Structure 1
């Protein structure tokens, strides 16, 4: 106990010094900005100073010891494990995308916050303490031991299925984090998006490659401090600006009625109605084109060619000719391609033609039936986020790193505390930014647009993150003319609020810390599952500890580069990728984990059936209901969005596990003994 206490005091001293040093770094950069330092240099300093910091911690914490590499030596104090887990948990989706989702969807966006927070309560009650009492290295370790059956190796099947689930869930999740790294790096260093991804990847690998869980843990504590400071400063600034109160949660209550009043005024504005009518007419034109295929495609192609020929014959300006050439080159090459493109354009224009959705109104819709559909999707999403949280391998792995079961329970309390410091601020920040845009940007003349609009519009030339187009050509910005990608709202908040650029760099560093901390944990979960659960437990049980760690490092390197390549293809927005990962985790792993902990009759056959049924149903529904995966709304059941596919996968997994376990031989005595053991007081 004395040794552990001394270790805690030493850690506290180190991180207090780190916090003081980071504050001094911020002050120094603010002074340099006042002296005229170029913005690009501030961005470089923030990005590379934090990356060098994480790399330094990774080098100092390098290890080849199996226990240190897999579970940080099982000696992380509860409060520091809570900070590390919070950093692991507050991913790019939380830091970057969640406030943007609330900005766009209002009340409906709260499903993520409610689900993720409630899910961590499930972790504390149902899973984490029992995994720590079990005391191994990975989630497949627990499932293989709990569902082992005889000496015929059938326990290995459960392990393999758990590894496959871990890889699929973690890989989907890590692609979203690496996508965020590329987004941040490209904005604040000016490099290409794909190059930014691989720059961030270098920082991820230095920590996880050299020191495993040990390096990741101490890096994540530092990253949480940066995340907290970066998120709170802009929120507090906006709180003072709009409510004369530095506490965002209090300012939230004052600004929300003002936002509602502003929404009402904009909804009655004739210019706003004119813009939405233009979008509605465009939607009708696209619908007519779709209905008239394939003749409409041929007519459109001929019209585009005639327009180009006419411009050339009239010796029109080079600008007009080039625009006509670009239009013709971009024109669909076939009726099938035209259908796909026009259906997407139809959906976009219909969305922008909709009336303003009141931020505070739950489940807004034209009629009761559609409102009920939104409510059902909200509840389904909360359900999937909760159960997905309780089954995420990289989060559950952290329960193995504390010295005891008691420390694990205390650690979960600290994790919830540190998460809530951010999560209670996110809804307030969304409202404050929304009010700022609605009251300051809307109504601005196009000739006087703020510089941050052009900065963000040029980050990605092929898919602008911010777009403001004068649709009705009146020279004034209307709300319907503004398109903001939810993934950039938090990153752009300091510029929207008029803060010094050094705060923009700070927020970028916070977003980078959130993405890197989660990516580290996810990559380690994948590589450990492959090296420990497949290579060591199945392929080569006689492998030395040094060989096991080396294999894990090599696998981590390979997976990281594959994930970086996948992220560079921009498969979807961050929240969509994260939602897919949570639904898959809930459907595949949650039934096996919770029944394995609390039902002594659950056996090997039931676990296999449950994991296959849950994963199969969830994946089937996503493939048939998600446009990203080749499906569509026609494939939806009860109008549930594909991001909440776990609402069908979880019951299927639980039912299959229960039925098959009930009609097959009971589990081996040692499996029942394991259940009894993990339930005995420490």
Structure 2
């Protein structure tokens, strides 16, 4: 038996024991809950025990070897690299956000499933084997060597950091969300507790520690994802195979949708929201007078309450409303326009779950279809351009292992993606049948508990004391985390799901932090600023940058960006437009040169970022400025073709690359040539 085979066998034994012990741990907590162990204690034990496991693996995997720190010694077996890649991929967006998006969007949410799955096909066919054969450490490394120098390397470095940082913010936000809810602390405190776990996993051991931690995290997240939905499937259908039977439950949802959407009380509430939207429109139209009138009215009401000896709670509420009132007409316009759009959205019936490309008119249906295709396109190409995923294929022993690793990745990701639609359907059945139409006085506890962290909001707009569907607002990120509580499952299942969500967020955050810090230390500091730096100095720089990036990302996440899945989608648009054209043409077209690649990356990135800023409300933009009504999450659909066109046009108009670069392309592409480049430190 070869040393590599023996190493793989040992790993299988270790992780088999680890899986068995974790399942016994969950069973022990379930027994403890049966005998009276409090929910508070279960939440603490789940989260702190799993973070301790990851931190322990990180500490045991510490290293000062450059190859181990950057690429795990290039000895990770394909099976385990597939698990680590799946964990790296199964971010908070996939674990927490995907089922929620399918819950709200129905058929339209399948764009995420199809796009991300198709993206790994592109990785297997176009990217991973060739990057592994190239044999360096990072994506900017490839760009610097293929396109002759530091200009392309630095542009690729900027794109790598931007895409990875946006993705990282979403993961740290997910960490804060899980920890704040399940151990009942402030969101910001939970965020920094999770950040400490991230740093312990990656700080001492780099890619080596992150790899073995991600394998452990995948085991936990896949168990956590499957257990609740399997129980729900058995509860609703008597068959514990949710992937095979959720279609029957979907038919019941379609019947319930027909009843709900046409109910008089639902129509009444939607009409009230329409009138509210019109009211906001009128206030915006009459600015600044409307803001002055509202401020004076609030001050008069507050003075009247104080003079009338009103209850302290009512006075405090009026003071808070006055404090939250926009200070300037410009601020009022932005805030009221956001409220108008929200009210307008809630005045419309939600899309039917099984309806493809819904719309009240043929034009709206065409817009929905175009956005579906654009999003799928961006996610596919973004998957093949995300640096933290592509870096994983530098860690395998050879090119063949890189190909096998992609296949294993797809299998492990498939286990979750084929289950996400069932999650959405079962959760929607529970909400539509057991929550909507209930008295506000007897709503289940999960409504209040998730309302405290801002993910569930209820407004009795028609004051009838009954919860209508339009009066219930659920954040997409709450569906998976709250499903065990929604379904009335034991709290230990909720704790397990929280541990899985934390594992998903931590695993991806580890990979992203390492990608950014390695890019700064290896590609910027070592390759550009100080090529004579020692290995020890490079590792010190990498670790210091890792700390800085982690703190900055945590601060941005504390501002609570959009829902996790949307934020991650922006990162895919950036990766697709800035990196994918340069990578693919660099591998398959020898004529691509440095001016073309630099121009193509800059044009693709600039157009994508410009469109995001122009159309997304977070940046003060508006969909009124959208091109072809494409959502900002799919901004890369404009950047990618422009990137390809620019690289081709500029390359043809300038001198071809030298012969040694063209030979490098042949070397990377053809399997009959030697499979390993000399490795650089």
Q: TM-score, normalised by structure 2?
A: 0.97
Contact 2:302 2:319 in 1 (8 A): yes
Asked if 1:54 corresponds to 2:48, the answer is no
Spell out, residue by residue over 1:104-150, the C-alpha distance to the aligned partner (whole angstroms, 9 max, x if none).
111111111111111111000000000111111111111111111xx
Asked if 1:264 corresponds to 2:258, the answer is yes
Name the SS of the counterpart of 2:473 in structure 1. Answer: strand
Asked if 1:471 corresponds to 2:465, the answer is no
Of residues 516-525 and 270-279 in structure 1, the stretch that sits farther from structure 2 once superposed is 270-279
Report the equivalent of 1:677.
Answer: 667
From 475, 478, 492, give the equivalent of 1:502. 492
Show the 5 A alignment for 1:116-265: 116-148=116-148, 155-265=149-259
Change (3 A) 1:326 1:561: closer
From 258, 269, 273, give the equivalent of 1:279. 273
Name the SS of the counterpart of 2:437 in structure 1. Answer: coil
Report the equivalent of 2:98.
Answer: 98
Report the equivalent of 1:109.
Answer: 109
Of residues 303-312 and 483-492 in structure 1, the stretch that sits farther from structure 2 once superposed is 303-312
Cα distance in 2 for residues equivalent to 1:273 and 1:102: 24
Asked if 1:440 corresponds to 2:440, the answer is no
Q: In the TM superposition, what is the alpha-carbon distance from 1:312 to its structure 2 partner? A: 4.2
Q: In the TM superposition, what is the alpha-carbon distance from 1:311 to its structure 2 partner? A: 3.7
Contact 1:182 1:193 in 2 (8 A): yes
Q: TM-score, normalised by structure 1?
A: 0.97
Asked if 1:401 corresponds to 2:391, the answer is no
Q: In the TM superposition, what is the alpha-carbon distance from 1:315 to its structure 2 partner? A: 4.2
Asked if 1:640 corresponds to 2:634, the answer is no
Name the SS of the counterpart of 2:64 in structure 1. Answer: coil
Report the equivalent of 1:650.
Answer: 640
Report the equivalent of 2:569.
Answer: 579
Report the equivalent of 1:19.
Answer: 19
Asked if 1:424 corresponds to 2:414, the answer is no
Spell out, residue by residue over 1:499-541, the C-alpha distance to the aligned partner (whole angstroms, 9 max, x if none).
1111111000000000000000011111111111111112222
> Over the residues paired in the alignment, what is the CA RMSD in angstroms?
1.3
Q: Which runs of 4+ in 1 moved over 6 A?
A: none
Contact 2:98 2:420 in 1 (8 A): yes
Cα distance in 2 for residues equivalent to 1:630 and 1:70: 39
Q: In the TM superposition, what is the alpha-carbon distance from 1:422 to its structure 2 partner? A: 0.2
Contact 2:201 2:209 in 1 (8 A): yes
Report the equivalent of 2:301.
Answer: 307
Q: In the TM superposition, what is the alpha-carbon distance from 1:314 to its structure 2 partner? A: 4.3
From 504, 508, 526, give the equivalent of 1:536. 526
Of residues 213-222 and 550-559 in structure 1, the stretch that sits farther from structure 2 once superposed is 550-559
Contact 1:263 1:356 in 2 (8 A): no
Cα distance in 2 for residues equivalent to 1:440 and 1:126: 48
Name the SS of the counterpart of 1:137 in structure 2. Answer: coil
Q: In the TM superposition, what is the alpha-carbon distance from 1:481 to its structure 2 partner? A: 1.1
Report the equivalent of 1:630.
Answer: 620
Spell out, residue by residue over 1:447-477, the C-alpha distance to the aligned partner (whole angstroms, 9 max, x if none).
1111111111112xxxx21112222222221
Report the equivalent of 1:616.
Answer: 606
Report the equivalent of 1:329.
Answer: 323
From 454, 458, 480, give the equivalent of 2:448. 454
Cα distance in 1 for residues equivalent to 2:504 and 2:314: 45
Name the SS of the counterpart of 1:210 in structure 2. Answer: coil
Structure 1: 5+ residue stretches without partners: 149-154
Report the equivalent of 2:679.
Answer: none
Spell out, residue by residue over 1:388-422, the C-alpha distance to the aligned partner (whole angstroms, 9 max, x if none).
11010010001111111111111111000000000
Q: In the TM superposition, what is the alpha-carbon distance from 1:665 to its structure 2 partner? A: 0.9
Name the SS of the counterpart of 1:483 in structure 2. Answer: strand
Cα distance in 2 for residues equivalent to 1:540 and 1:325: 57
Name the SS of the counterpart of 2:248 in structure 1. Answer: helix
Cα distance in 2 for residues equivalent to 1:255 and 1:307: 51
Contact 1:19 1:225 in 2 (8 A): yes
Contact 1:580 1:643 in 2 (8 A): yes
Cα distance in 2 for residues equivalent to 1:331 and 1:619: 31
Task: State how many pairs are aligned.
Answer: 672
Change (3 A) 1:630 1:46: same
Report the equivalent of 1:39.
Answer: 39
Cα distance in 2 for residues equivalent to 1:130 and 1:326: 59
Cα distance in 1 for residues equivalent to 2:333 and 2:234: 50
Name the SS of the counterpart of 2:527 in structure 1. Answer: helix
Of residues 442-451 and 44-53 in structure 1, the stretch that sits farther from structure 2 once superposed is 442-451
Contact 2:266 2:470 in 1 (8 A): yes
Structure 2: 5+ residue stretches without partners: 676-681
Name the SS of the counterpart of 1:467 in structure 2. Answer: strand
Asked if 1:354 corresponds to 2:348, the answer is yes
Contact 1:97 1:487 in 2 (8 A): yes
Spell out, residue by residue over 1:149-194, the C-alpha distance to the aligned partner (whole angstroms, 9 max, x if none).
xxxxxx1111111111111111111010000000001001111111
Asked if 1:520 corresponds to 2:510, the answer is yes
Cα distance in 1 for residues equivalent to 2:325 and 2:666: 67
Change (3 A) 1:631 1:356: closer
Q: In the TM superposition, what is the alpha-carbon distance from 1:603 to its structure 2 partner? A: 0.8
